[in-house]
Amino acid sequence: MMIYLMCLILFCVGVYCILVKKNLIKIIIGIGIVEYAVNLFFVLVGYRVQGRAPILAQDQVIQNMVDPLPQALVLTAIVIGLAVTALIVAIAMRLYEKYGTFDITKIRKLRG
Amino acid sequence: MKTKEPGMTLIVKTITRLTVGLILLYGIYIVTHGHVSPGGGFAGGVIIALSFIHLMLAFGKDLALKKLSRGAASFFESFGAIMFLTIGLLGFIGGYFFFNFFSKGKPFNLFSAGIIPLCNIAICLKVGAGLFAVFVALILLEIPIRKE
Amino acid sequence: MFELYVLLLFMIIGAIIAVEIKDLLSSVVAVGAVGLGLSVAFLILKAPDLAITQLVVEILCLIILIRATIKRDIPSVNRRKEVINSVMALLFIGGFLFFAYLALKDLPSFGHPIMRVSQNYLAEGLKKTGATNLVASVILDFRAYDTLGEATILFTAVIGVLTVLRRIGRKRVDEVAKEEDEYEN
Amino acid sequence: MNLAAFPITHHLLPFFVAIPLGSAFLVSLLGKKLKGFPDTFSNLATFSLFSLSLFSLLLTKRFGTVVYKVGGWIPPIGICMVLDSLTSFMLVTINLVAFLVTIYSIGYMERYTAKWKFYTLFLLMLAGMNGVIVTGDMFNLFVFLEIASISSYALVAFGVEHEELEASFKYMVMGIMASLFILLGIAFLYSLTSTLNMADISRTLARIGNNQTVFFVAALFLMGFGLKAALVPFHAWLPDAHPSAPAPISAMLSGVLIKALGVYALARIFFNVLGMTAISSSILMVLGIISMVLGGLLALGQEDIKRLFAYSSISQIGYVVFAIGMGTPLGILAGLFHLFNHAIFKSLLFLNSGSIEYATGTRDLRKMGGLTSKMPVTGYSSLVGSMSISGIPPLSGFWSKLLIILAAIEAKHFIFASIAVLVSILTLAYYLKVQKLAFFGELKDSLKGIKEVPLTMKLSMIALSIICIFGGLLLIPGVQRNFLNLATEVLINGNNYAQVIFGSIK
């Protein structure tokens, strides 16, 4: 319970960063932090007390493994995070090229 | 007086020369043993891409591009994607999309688990080539310094 | 599980430093530390696959981010405090945490997942797929369709990056521009 | 594996995803070398998808709900694909618009560089949308939602000018936030129910009963999918992102993307998975009404033609969400009908704006005038689209708006019904403004030399306006029973969804 809450606090640090900061790179960092928090939450959900990693070993009967499904999902989520980061960094670099700054308050051609 | 070579200092270059092969080998190991030990196509693919990126950071972009050109990278990427989709479609042999139609083999062996190692290889090709292509594109983007 | 608490505390502090520090490069390094902490946390939580993946992805992300920030911009981030904005954000976060707290009460407690469906993977994974790494058996056999999606996302992002980095997007009205731009070859 | 127990026709279900994915990979592999290959191949792909979706209508009529087990794993162990009437309704809508838009792109995209990248991303976006519609698994829905979103981020920035990049960045930040909220919601839901299959979640939740977690998850999903659908407190990205994209993409984004990722997902999850309650119903209705009014008011003041259309999209999505939120059979029917109609006329209008930009090089309404004389096809089809969206009888928009208002009266929401009528008049006002400024009046001197657009662009605009004119025919009892009513029943059924799914697994 406490550990879930700490994980969500990490989530909120990222959200705060996205909502308040005015620098493109800071926003990207905020997105990264939120991603970490969500991935960690998923793995926490599948953890089992005294559990073993879900990998079988030869000639050995292992009981009480942790849940493999969230791990598989988080693997997908990490890849999605990487893909998104690569694309958003590319866009941020193009914006820097066009405007000469990472400051979002100076990047304002659009009205609303 | 030497002409300035591209890349970093001699120390970095020497160490890179020693380690880059190991990194590549480790990536291949991770990919091919994805179904018996931790790792898999994705992690291995990233490691393989990192070995090329390592080369690029140490020796400059020309050498790395000579080893793996951009055309080849984008070809491997599309090829890996098509290979993965084809494995999925071949599942129709067994009756379903993504059916594990291969023989399962003996557990704990390298050649076991049906389509899983094949999928790992396809993903590794895709991921390695794709990430390398992204990195090269980002490196080559020269941004003019502007004075307002 | 004591070490997990310490690690999470470390990650939260690292995240706050990454958010609040002025210098962009330091900020990127701090977020890298958080990512490595996450990788260790995965190891403690018995997820070696994820630990490996997180580690290599973190390295790649750091290289990309450092590449984007190095020698760019004046390090001082705009200091003009927008009080209203921060207060709104904090209010939203407060509300979010409050409702999350209520919601967490009704979840199964930490360390005791229900595992109704996953039981099948543990019991039959080896017999039905032949893979001893059960995570691999889930991502590439039971849920291979998800992985197709995942590979496609990466493919999309690569094409997207190449698209965004084109030098010229539009042809002028009467200009017969050359088809391929300089990033092609 | 016994094939006989499973009719061979059911195997077409994976092809809704496999065809666009495969063609995207092939276009990216060969498109650079072979001239003309991207054009022909993409059109072939979207055409075959459209025919398949029409065939899927027959399939649902014949077999009812079809559940396809991917990899042969029985759900909830594996992922399943579900084809029910709502799915095939959405598939027809999406693939129809996509087909007509690809025809249009042949001519229009000549103005941009790197056409093969455009087609690759376009097909990936289509694959993502079809995947979202067809899936029966929560996490799989998230994965395909991300495919569609990421390709749309890149497509918004396709012109790589200042505004496009800025709009794309804004859209991307918002979109990623939305995705992460959705992912967090899925994590909570997984912890609570220990399954990812939508039908299984629905069954488990019905057993658990009321729960704080479900409430929180509903809030997360509302935020996430609300952002994707651009409901009003979350709408800020849409008026930037939709006008910045190339016209065919604006048509796809406004016409179908916000509906597939936003409205469809919201409806499916709230009705069939979480279960509709009085609170969620009234929240959806209020959000719908606010979007309707605010979108309409903001549209009135716009001078940029595409921006005006974008605000109008917010307003019309408000209608759809409001109608579906009522939860009554007539309301849902009206909402789905309006969804279909809006997909048609909004893509038509965006294609018109693209034609204007193609011919004149401007999007500013004040610089246009008298275009009908020079561009008759664009002019008249845009007239049809405008009149249809503002609800002039006998065009399709009139019937769906009438049904929405009737449904509101039937459900005794008289205030909301009168607001809907007023917003309809507002809609007429700003579309008359478009018609007056752009197509009627004196031809400006600077526009003397313009020409009508190429044939392929004309073809798709004509096709869309014909559907607009005859859209009302969908309400003829025989057609309505098979197309709209069946789709409505899926949502009305609510939690029985689980029984239907598990009943039809063979």
DSSP 8-class letter at D65: S
Residue B1 lies in a domain: no
What token pair was written down for B7?
């890349």
Is B97:D18 a contact under the CB 8 Å cutoff? yes
Residue A112 pLDDT: 46
Q: What's the mean pLDDT in D153-175?
A: 88
Question: Got the DSSP string for D271-328?
Answer: IIIS---HHHHHHHHHHHHHHHHHHHHHHHT--BHHHHHHHHHHHHHHHHHHHHHH-S
| A85's tokens | 């980061």
SS3 B112: coil
pLDDT score of D361: 80
| Three-class DSSP category at D187 | helix
Q: Point out the residue among B42, B107, B138 whose CB comes nearest to the CB of A93.
A: B138
How many whole angstroms separate alpha carbon D407 and alpha carbon A1? 45
Q: CA torsion sign, D98 to D85 to D317 to C88?
A: negative
Q: A2 to chain D, minimum CA–CA distance in Å?
A: 15
The burial of A93, by beta-carbon neighbours within 10 Å (0-12 exposed, 13-18 middle, 19 or more buried), is given as buried
Split into its structural domains, chain B has a count of: 1
CA quadruple D84, D86, D89, D92: dihedral sign: negative
Residue D144 has pLDDT above 90, yes or no: yes
- Across the interface, whether the CB atoms of C63 and B47 are under 8 A apart is answered no
Residue of A84 and A103 predicted with greater confidence = A84
Decide if A26 and C19 are in contact by the 8 Å CB cutoff.
Answer: yes
- pLDDT score, position D128: 92
Q: Domain spans of chain C? A: 1-74, 116-169
- Residue span of the structural domain in which B60 resides: 10-140
CB contact under 8 A, C47 and A53: yes
What confidence score (pLDDT) does residue B104 get?
65
The verdict on a CB contact (< 8 Å) between D124 and C179 is no
Coil vs helix vs strand at D359: helix
Sequence letter at residue A97? E
Q: Higher confidence at residue D494 or residue C63? A: C63
Complex ipTM? 0.91
* B30 domain residue, yes or no: yes
Domain membership of residue B46 (yes or no) is: yes
Per-residue pLDDT, averaged over C90-96, amounts to 90
Contact C78, A105 (CB under 8 A): yes
Residue B145 counted as domain residue? no
**Selected residues 26-65 of chain C with any CB under 8 Å from a CB in chain D:** none
State the pTM of this model.
Answer: 0.92
Largest separation between any pair of C-alpha atoms in chain A: 67
**Residue D2 has what pLDDT?**
45
Residue D59 pLDDT > 80, yes or no? yes
Whether D176 and A84 have beta carbons less than 8 Å apart is answered as yes
* B2 within domain boundaries: no
Query: What is the identity of the amino acid at A29?
Result: I
pLDDT in tens, D188-221: 988 888 888 888 888 888 888 778 888 889 999 9
Residue with structure tokens 């706050």?
C16
Chains that touch C (3 or more CB pairs under 8 A): A, B, D
**Res D97: pLDDT:** 92
Q: Which of helix, strand or coil describes residue D443? A: coil
- Is B146 among the domain residues? no
Residue A65 is predicted with a pLDDT of 81
Chain C neighbors of A95, CB-CB under 8 A:
none
In a domain, B96, yes or no: yes
Task: Pick A94's closest partner by Cβ from D160, D170, D180.
Answer: D160
Each residue's pLDDT tens digit, C26-42 = 888 999 999 999 999 99
* pLDDT confidence tier of residue D1, bands split at 50, 70 and 90: very low
Query: What average pLDDT is seen over chain C?
Result: 80
- Asked if pLDDT for residue C182 goes beyond 70, the answer is no
With 70 as the cut, is the pLDDT of residue D504 above it?
yes
Q: Are D148 and D171 in contact (CB under 8 A)?
A: no
Q: How far is B21 from chain A (nearest CA, A)?
A: 25
Q: Residue B106: left (phi > 0), alpha (psi -120 to 50), or beta?
A: beta
Mean local confidence (pLDDT), D304-309: 88
- What residues pair up with D80 in beta bridges, in sequence order? D69
CB pairs under 8 A between A and B: 26
Tens of pLDDT, residues A77-99: 998 999 999 999 989 888 888 88
pLDDT at C177 (0 to 100): 45
Q: Cα(first)–Cα(last) distance of chain C, in Å?
A: 53
pLDDT at residue B110, rounded to an integer: 64
At D493, is the secondary structure helix, strand, or coil? coil
CA D102 to chain centre: 16
Digits of tens for pLDDT over chain B (148 positions)? 445 566 677 888 888 888 888 988 888 888 888 777 777 788 888 898 888 888 888 887 777 777 777 777 778 888 888 888 888 888 777 777 777 666 666 666 666 667 788 888 888 888 888 888 888 888 777 655 544 3
Residue numbers in C near D70 (CB within 8 A): 144-145
- A 37-76: CB under 8 A from B: 53, 55-56, 58, 75
Closest listed residue to residue B44, CA positions, set C121, C136, A84, C126: C136
**Phi and psi angles of residue D66, each rounded to the nearest 5 degrees, phi first:** -110, 130
User: D170: which chain A residues are within 8 Å (Cβ-Cβ)?
Assistant: 110
DSSP letter assigned to residue C176: -
pLDDT tens-place string over residues C115-139: 788 888 887 777 777 777 788 888 8
The alpha-helical segments, DSSP class H, found in D375-505 are 376-389, 396-410, 414-434, 455-470, 477-480, 486-492, 497-503
Is A68–C161 a contact, with Cβ atoms under 8 angstroms apart? Answer: no
